Structure 1
Amino acid sequence: MTTPLEELLPATRRALLHRIAVAQSEGRAPSLVAAVARDGKLVWTGSRTSVDGHGPDENVQYRIGSITKTFTAVLVLRLRDEGLLDLGDPLEKHLPGTGAGEVTIAELLAHTGGLAAETPGEWWERSSASLRPTLADVLGEQPFRHPVGRRHHYSNPGYTLLGSLIEKVRGVSWEEALRGEILEPLGLNRTGPQPQMPHAGGWAVHPFADVLLPEPSEDLGLMAPAGQLWSTTRDLASFGTFLSTGDDRVLSAESVREMRTPAAPTLPGDREASYGLGMQIVHGEGRTLAGHTGSLPGFLAGLWLSEEDGLVAVTLANCTSGVPVATVAAELLGIVAEAEPRIPEPWRPLPEVDAAVLELAGPWYWGTQTVALRLASEGGVELGPAAGGGRRSRFRANGDGTWTGLDGYYAGEQLRAVRRPDGSVSHLDLGSFVFTREPYDKNAPVPGGVDAEGWRGVPQ
């Protein structure tokens, strides 16, 4: 049964429809489907097709190519969160004998392991998996193209290694882990390694003539963790919401935030794009988008989320090339964000306040720079400039009177309030920085000391 959609304004719906209509027409796609979710609810779906009389809906499957990598990354982060591995571990520790064991798990996730972009031999996306029955066939005799850890170089074989790592550590197939740990808990019933009706067929469109050629649909075998999945706009919108907010049945909000945090150098030639742990990150038009794109012969896919706007947009097409699905998905998200900006939740006071934390609220000084500490929910705090730009971070309470940075310059750093023997607050300590209640407070342990004569004017 199809769930009714939340209403968007008529002008917004028409703008969305116009954008995908232009994309399908100019891109000459046999069909194109799209969806937008807001705050976890599907608010719009649309489709355009070259077939008269009907159009695919939000439950029709398309191949999603490398968006599969994000699912694989979630499975790896689950293993990390369960303490079964560390992202800094070399692959060899858990999956010995590959010939690429010096690469760390984090480097594989972020495509910084220096591995080749593709497999040796025939084009793997259009040839039988029987040609690559082992990891040695996937990697070849010379798996590396760059020094390990030095640059971002997208690697499909790298995610094959991650799939094999999951199977080794978990003791089940990649597909079984995927279904039991992600698809079933999140209710992604129309996502899986094999197509189920109704699904689209993949087509190549001649670059200089309006004629079609069917594309083969190969099972990818060992390469499945890099690009095997089929899905729908409805399922991907739900998955995008999960990637924005987390779900403790699968992965915490903190862990999906880690996936969305840049873990690789800025992509060559594009200062606005970077890569996290299984997720692409782009900056532009005043917002940061995270997600992934995908392609396989006959199919194109794009998924973007904006945490700030509470929006997810998905675009899928059944053609090998021609439709800029990533751009279209980003523009669909932008249309809704600009036409119908997110309505903030009502301001509410904190349910309870620790007096010792409340005492820390207000202005502090790092040297002569004024910063402000503000209380946040669940015992957390925020520290940033009192006015203007500068370093700003959120901190999570550790339960022992200290806080750990969640983002920004101080991500991972510890903040603590240092008290005098009488219990009064002397200063804040943050990664060796001393924050005082007065600029260069002579009664606080300011590194380098404070001139004994104090502040003064210029002699005339």
Structure 2
Amino acid sequence: MTSAPEELLPGTRRALLHRIAAAQSEGRSPSLVAAVVRGGHTVWDGARSSVDGHAPDGNVQYRIGSISKTFTAVLVMRLRDEGLLDLNDPLEKHLPGTGAGEVSIAQLLCHAGGLAAETPGEWWERSPGGLRPALSDVLGAEPFRHAPGRRHHYSNPGYTLLGALVEALRGRPWAEVLRDEVLEPLGLHRTSALPQAPHAGGWAVHPWADAMLPEPLEDLGLMAPAGALWSTTADLARFAAFLLAGDDRVLRAETVREMRAPASPPEPGMADGGYGLGLQLTKVADRALAGHSGSLPGFVAGLWFSKADDVAAVVLANCTSGVPAATVAADLVRIVAEAEPRIPEPWRPMPSVDPALLELTGPWYWGTAPHLLRLTRDGGLELGPVGAMGRSSRLRAERDGTWTGLNGYYAGETLRPVRRSDGTLSHLDLASFVFTRTPYDPTAPIPGGLDPRGWRGSDQGL
């Protein structure tokens, strides 16, 4: 049972309203709607409109553009968790004959596959999907712009391939799989591949005059997994809560955490953070954010969340340009996080403690560099340096008594506690590094050995 949402303070609510009002006015959008999530609940929503008395609410659909990619990535991660694929598998293993089969599934998820940014031919976002009836029409004769795995290069066709992969392994259309495996379990009943009333119309606003032009609403066909979805702020607020905490009906928390870990570094000039597995990553005023931006002719969208603050925000507007929806969403997260900092949960002791694990905790030295090994509430270990410099990692227990690094430099590496013949703990072996209880412990097998004279001062013969 989840606790009831904690209401925001009046000053915070006014600051949020002011931010979206300024965005709608300065961006000259026909309408703009937003929502903020904290603690897994929507705690604020607001809207502005150019038509008096007709501001949209959280039930009105807008097109969300590339936020659709995050939904597609969730489907792929479900396939991985079920053992139907490995992220390192080449696409060819599961979807042969595309001409881009050497690319790995992970590279497609994080836009490191080297594929072209857009489709050949007409601008796909403003033309019917019938112009691209096959994957060969999406990729063209020369699908690559860079060698796979060499650099981050955002690719819309790459996510069309991921959608086709989902269809190949599930044997059903992407939209049906998405509905049954993600939308229905999470209660996202107002998210769909095609618009459902009530929905906003898409508009272009003249750059030098207060005049509007309706944008065409095209069925994007095979490109749908890259950007076709329609949704509401109410639905996207629920989706943001899922991305913050996971939901075992769709993806467990560990997999969602994996999605928001950096997988592809940013190109020079891009915002710091890069790209995870279906999630954009950025840093704004030292606050780490994950989420995605989105745009299609007539619509802009932004969804960002801060795991550390447990705050997410969604912004949707129906204009082709003018409103930086992703920036506004990041601002809404900042307003709440700064005005009402998260109150930590009360400290509570662990339900039970294994003495063998306690023996591993405390200070350890890699050479002369002090580190601390802590026991976490979930039965894992956390290694970190004493001070700002050094390598940190979370570690997971294995059945054979070893530990596997989960992040940072030691991700995937093995930590092995080594005992003496009498059963006492001698040292830790972590990826060939020896950690000892004292700096260069002479009783431990230090690589290269130790000077037999030991530690000495200036008067002892340097």
1:6-17 equivalences in 2 (<5 Å)? 6-17=6-17
Deviation at 1:260, TM superposition (A): 0.7
Structure 2 contact 47–56 (Cα < 8 Å) conserved: yes
Aligned to 2:105: 105
The SS at the match of 1:429 is: strand
The one-letter code matched in structure 2 to 1:322 is G
Q: Aligned ranges for residues 41-56 of structure 1 at < 5 Å?
A: 41-56=41-56
- Bigger mean CA deviation after superposition, 391-400 or 315-324: 391-400
Identity of aligned residues (%): 73
- TM-score (norm. length: structure 1): 0.97
Task: Name 1:435's counterpart in structure 2.
Answer: 435
1:385 aligns with 2:394: no
> Shift in Å at residue 400 of structure 1?
3.5
Shift of 1:104: 0.9
2-side partners of 1:136 and 1:387: how far apart? Answer: 54
Q: Counterpart in 2 of 1:128?
A: 128
Map 1:7-406; keep pairs closer than 5 Å: 7-270=7-270, 272-406=272-406
**1:6 CA drift (Å):** 3.9
Contact 2:271 2:282 in 1 (8 A): no
Give the superposition deviation at 1:22: 0.4
Q: Contact conserved, 2:365 with 2:440, CA < 8 A, in 1?
A: yes
**Runs of at least 5 residues in structure 1 that lack an aligned partner in the other structure:** none
1:131-165 CA distance string (max 9 Å, x none) = 11001111111111112211111111111111111
**Normalised TM-score (structure 2):** 0.97
Question: Is the 1:378–1:397 Cα contact (8 Å) retained in structure 2?
Answer: no
Q: Specify the code of the residue in structure 2 equivalent to 1:145.
A: R
The structural deviation recorded for 1:112 is 1.0
Q: 1:81 and 1:238 mapped to 2: Cα distance?
A: 22
CA distance in 1, matches of 2:366, 2:85: 38
CA distance in 2: counterparts of 1:274 and 1:444, whole angstroms: 41
The alpha carbon displacement at 1:169 in A equals 1.1
Report SS of the residue matched to 2:378. helix
> How far 1:378 sits from its partner (Å)?
2.2
CA shift, 1:266, in A, is 2.0
How far apart are the structure 1 equivalents of 2:78 and 2:226? 18
Listed as ranges, the gaps of 5+ residues in structure 2 are: none
Q: Distance in 2 between matches of 1:372 and 1:85?
A: 37
- The 1-side partners of 2:385 and 2:265 are apart by 27
**Within 1, Cα distance between the matches of 2:33 and 2:297?**
17
Q: Provide the alpha-carbon RMSD of the alignment.
A: 1.4
Say if 1:61 and 1:198, in contact at 8 Å, map to a contact too.
yes
Cα pair 1:159 1:226 within 8 Å, conserved: yes
Residues 5 and 38 of structure 2 are in contact (CA less than 8 Å); yes or no, is this contact kept in structure 1? no
Summarize the alignment of residues 418-457 of structure 1 with structure 2, pairs less than 5 Å apart.
Answer: 418-457=418-457
Give aligned pairs, total. Answer: 458
CA distance in 1, matches of 2:41, 2:457: 61
Post-superposition Cα deviations, 1:255-286, rounded to whole Å, max 9, x if no partner, equal 11111111112223126130111110001312
Q: Which moved more, 1:36-45 or 1:248-257?
A: 248-257
Partners of 2:101 and 2:422 in 1: how far apart? 55
Which stretch shifts more, 278-287 or 327-336? Answer: 278-287
Task: Tell me which residue corresponds to 2:410.
Answer: 410
In 1, Cα distance between the equivalents of 2:224 and 2:284?
32
Distance in 2 (CA, whole Å) between partners of 1:152 and 1:304 is: 21
Asked if structure 2 preserves the Cα contact closer than 8 Å seen for 1:5 and 1:44, the reply is no
Residue deviations 1:28-73 (CA, integer Å, cap 9, x gap): 0000011110010111101110011131111211100000000101
For residue 269 of structure 2, give the secondary structure of its aligned residue in structure 1: coil
> 1:267·1:273 contact (CA, 8 Å) conserved in 2?
no
Query: How many angstroms apart in 1 are the aligned matches of 2:242 and 2:402?
Result: 29
Task: Quote how far apart the aligned CAs of 1:410 are.
Answer: 2.0
Partner amino acid for 1:207? Answer: P
State how far apart, in whole Å, the 2-side matches of 1:357 and 1:338 are.
38
- Once residues 55 and 398 of structure 1 are traced to their aligned partners in structure 2, the CA distance between those partners, rounded to angstroms, is 55
Does the 8 A contact of 1:261 with 1:276 survive in 2?
yes
Q: How many Å apart are 1:401 and its aligned residue? A: 2.3
TM-superposed deviation, 1:11: 0.4
**Which amino acid in 1 is paired with 2:219?**
D
Q: What amino acid is aligned across from residue 269 of structure 2 in structure 1?
A: G
